[in-house]
């Protein structure tokens, strides 16, 4: 094999050291799961020690000797907030009942007409007396939907794109015969400064859903 040095190469598709030095705020845009994983955050801190590229404000100090990531709620904590807030409106979400639903997401085809993606979703709780349910759109659920639905994978990951998916899921779950379903999510959770901010945002989503139910005469 004749080995020859490269005379040219394309720019890498990831931020280089020079880019991060010029824009250290990019290091703040870590995926939510990374922020919850101590090993990954420790690795990032170690990388900062080696490169001296630590952004002020993300770590405890500019020497990157320790990591102080934002505090975020676990999925179970979010679900408990939903259940507690819904109870204020006399909704009793149960998990000891069938939670699986087959739904259809309908969307326009590029060539005209309509396309249908069929998905199976697992609800997080159902009030069997009022026939009201809720689904928490966590990272795992969203990833699974994107892997099984062309339409979901084509939607933007911005808050606007997630809001569109939430609306479509609510309609599809209701159309499956379930009845009204609130779909709660954390599309902008990376902007939360504290856990209380995140907790408050989830509560507001539940309250908005409760207000909508009352407007529909479902409560």
Torsion of CA 74, 148, 190, 29, to 10 degrees: 120
**101 or 72: which leads in pLDDT:** 101
Q: CA–CA separation, 169 vs 38, rounded Å?
A: 33
Task: For residue 190, give every residue at least 6 positions away whose Cβ sits within 8 Å of its Cβ, in sequence order, or none.
Answer: 29, 32
How many degrees, rounded to 5, is the angle at CA 126 between CA 121 and CA 130? 130
| 162-207 tens-digit pLDDT | 888 999 999 999 999 889 999 998 754 445 555 567 788 889 999 9
Decide: pTM greater than 0.85. Answer: no
């Amino acid at each position: 094999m004749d080995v020859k040095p490269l005379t040219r190469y394309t720019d890498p598709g990831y931020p280089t050291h020079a880019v991060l030095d010029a824009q250290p705020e990019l290091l703040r845009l870590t995926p939510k799961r990374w922020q919850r994983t101590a090993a990954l955050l420790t690795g990032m801190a170690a990388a900062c020690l080696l490169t001296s590229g630590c952004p002020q404000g993300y770590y405890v100090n500019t020497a990157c000797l320790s990591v102080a990531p934002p505090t975020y709620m676990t999925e179970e904590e979010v679900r408990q907030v939903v259940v507690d807030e819904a109870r204020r409106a006399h909704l009793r979400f149960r998990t000891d009942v069938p939670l699986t639903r087959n739904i259809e997401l309908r969307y326009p085809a590029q060539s005209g007409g309509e396309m249908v993606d069929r998905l199976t979703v697992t609800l997080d709780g159902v009030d069997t007396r009022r026939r009201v349910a809720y689904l928490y759109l966590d990272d795992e659920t969203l990833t699974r939907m994107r892997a099984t639905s062309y339409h979901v994978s084509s939607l933007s990951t911005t808050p606007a794109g997630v809001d569109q998916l939430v609306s479509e899921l609510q309609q599809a779950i209701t159309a499956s015969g379930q009845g009204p379903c609130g779909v709660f999510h954390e599309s902008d959770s990376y902007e939360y400064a504290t856990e209380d901010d995140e907790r408050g945002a989830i509560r507001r989503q539940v309250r908005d859903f409760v207000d909508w139910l009352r407007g529909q005469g479902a409560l």
